[in-house]
Amino acid sequence: QQRRIAGYANIHMPLSLSLATLSLAFPLRAPPLPPRALVVASAASDDLSALGFRSAAEAAAEQRLRRSRAEEAAGGACAGPSGPASSVYLVGVGPGDVELLTVKALRLMRDADLVLYDRLISPEVLSMVGPQAAMLYVGKEAGLHTRPQEEIHRLLHLYAHAGKSVVRLKGGDPTVFGRGGEELEYLEARGVPVQIVPGITAASGIAAALRVPLTHRDYADSVRFVTGHARSENSAPVAERYRWEVLSDPSQTLVVYMGLSTLPQFADGLLQAGLDASTPAVAVQDGTTATQRVVAAPLGGLATAVEEASLASPTLVIIGRVVSLLREASAGELAAAAAAAASAAVSEADTLPEPTAAAEEARALLDSLKAGGRLR
């Protein structure tokens, strides 16, 4: 699924725009080419974009961004393009199921001129974006950041002054471990109006899909969200990052975002703080989507079970007595839900004058579900 999203991004990245329709949706620098691609690009003299060439409009926009960086380095942190800024919308699209989109998110996606989107946005969700929008992929994954966060800040700032409707799409909720707060601070400090559109955060969406209540009078009187992923400059070991005596409260539900790589150390920290090894726990990859995978095990054996199942990112972990109520959706239920979402996306695309590539992705997903016998 992640590869499909990346492929969608490659299809929708505009390589050239006319001066009359300048939307500033451009790559800031040529992406690094692997050796084989470099040989192919060099051999094809007409493939100038692959060698880093840009249109006049793209080159001018890049130059403006370079100058704004130079002004910031010289102390003019708030200096930027002249003219009034349009609003930037930080929009959460939920954990993956297209039917969990809010009405407001859908309206903004359909009306947007420029859309910056993350790695975890599903093709089915992207197919709901209006065909007039210029799309820019700014996703992140472990060890591979298409664009650093500081560069995304500058892009949003620059685009807001282009007089276009700018939507920043984020998985889940933009302010729950989604860096929405950082983008809000940066833009407001430079006079750019920001509106936040909340989305269903992964904890809520995935717990609901599993029929696990995050709170329950008989099992948990509170819920706590934590992240298992530290900032790159945080070199402290996992054992020193948390107040374990707080996290190990048996009367709460603990939800760990982005904690796959540190799960063994995280579980050990809870056990060392006194949380019982038999505490129910579950790890969920690709929650609420057709590729959802679920591994349930007591806390003491969860890390081993997850490793044996080879779960991949994104994976959410829920720990607490409420997990004893787990009822995992069957493969058939998930396939039916995915098919319904794909069918809705296809129907939506059929009403557009020019079907988008993401709509074709949705159509392909629907066909594959039927061909694989997961849907009749």
List active site positions: 118, 140, 258
Max CA distance (Å), the chain? 70
- Whole-angstrom Cα distance, residue 202 to residue 196? 17
Q: Across 260-346, where does the E strand assignment appear? A: 280-285, 293-298, 315-319
DSSP-derived secondary structure for 86-153? PPEEEEE-BSS-GGG--HHHHHHHHH-SEEEE-TT--HHHHTTS-TT-EEEE--EETTEESS-HHHHH
Structure tokens at 255: 């939800």
Q: Give the residue from 128, 150, 177 showing the smallest Cα distance to 314.
A: 177
SS3 281: strand
Q: How far apart are CA 208 and CA 192, in angstroms?
A: 36
Is residue 292 within 8 A of residue 329, CB to CB? The reply is yes
Which two three-digit tokens encode residue 356?
A: 């988008």
